[in-house]
Amino acid sequence: MFRNYRGWLPKVRIIAARVAMVGFLALAGGSVQAQESAATEETDTPESIAAVASELSAEIALQPNLTAAAPADDFDQDPWEPFNEKMFNFNREVLDRYFLKPLATGWDFILPDVVQRGVHNMFDNLDVVRRVVNNTLQLKFAGAGTELARFTINSTVGVAGFFDIAKDAFGIEQRDEDTGQTFGTWGMGPGPYLVLPFLPPATVRDGMGYVFDGAMFPPSYFIPWWGTIAGTFTETVNERSLNLDRFERVAETTVDLYGAVRNAYLQRRAAAIKQ
């Protein structure tokens, strides 16, 4: 019995590491400070980049003109706001400022945008299991079929997913679904909003969904645990690099970044579940 437990421990560590590293991008992305530094060359990132980025980067990329929410827009889903805001600021002022952003800046200096976009596409292609499973569980069979078609095209003609041929050549758009959305479709309420270090902003429902999503990442079952961690770290730095200027602009033009990101996140998740 103990041998069985030891056999599962590496898988548990891999899932936890992937969730944590992707979450780090989420919190750090939304926590970009307005700094008195020279502007870097603007990255050419489309509005859909945040579709597979972690949650907070999604709010910024999907809503480039994000501004502080009005008092009437506040949600009752944030009973732990004092704690959440401290965690948000910690990720902004420490984790992103001194760790993730410098790495992403160097990454952006070394790699051209086309390579960064290809790296993004490759990791995105590997998340096909999560999207197929959750489309199916939500009875969106056309979406599941679309994801299978995209994976087949991009994994072959697209050179292991480096190029998004399915979209660029055939106009096949991604049908992104996750376990948190599936829970919401089944009627589960969101629960309180929560921000923790290294983890993406989430509700209780979405937090449980992250665990299931992490378990549906195929490479984690075929490569060593350290390989999965290295891959997730690479993905995190690459996504941050693709959005360097966008994060800066949002941080500079938003008075209450925490409240704006929280409200945008809750609104976006609610809208995604209704679709």
Question: What is the pLDDT, as a whole number, of residue 178?
Answer: 97
pLDDT: is 131 or 7 the higher one?
131
Question: What is the pLDDT, as a whole number, of residue 4?
Answer: 52
Question: What is the pLDDT, as a whole number, of residue 140?
Answer: 97
Cα separation, 10 vs 103, in Å, equals 27
Flag whether pLDDT at 138 surpasses 60: yes
Of the candidate ranges 38-42, 104-108, 122-126, 179-183, the one whose mean pLDDT is the lowest: 38-42
Question: What is the pLDDT, as a whole number, of residue 18?
Answer: 56
The pLDDT > 70 percentage for the chain reads: 73
pLDDT: is 195 or 253 the higher one?
195
Task: Write phi, then psi, for 193 (nearest 5 degrees).
Answer: -80, 140
pLDDT band for position 207 (50/70/90)?
very high
Flag whether pLDDT at 117 surpasses 50: yes
- Residue 85 structure tokens: 């805001």
Cβ-Cβ contacts under 8 Å for 233 (sequence gap 6 or more): 21
Flag whether pLDDT at 192 surpasses 80: yes
Average pLDDT in the chain: 80
Question: What is the pLDDT, as a whole number, of residue 72?
Answer: 40
Q: Where are the domains of the chain?
A: 2-32+74-274
End-to-end CA distance of the chain: 45
Q: Specify the DSSP element, H or E, that contains 202.
A: strand 202-203
Question: What is the pLDDT, as a whole number, of residue 254?
Answer: 86
Of the candidate ranges 50-59, 75-84, 119-128, 200-209, the one whose mean pLDDT is the lowest: 50-59
- Residue 17 structure tokens: 């590491």
- Residue 156 structure tokens: 């072959």
Asked whether 113 and 44 are in contact (CB, 8 A), the reply is yes
Cβ-Cβ contacts under 8 Å for 246 (sequence gap 6 or more): 43, 45, 60, 61, 64
pLDDT: is 45 or 66 the higher one?
66
The average pLDDT across 138-167 equals 97
Cα separation, 202 vs 194, in Å, equals 6
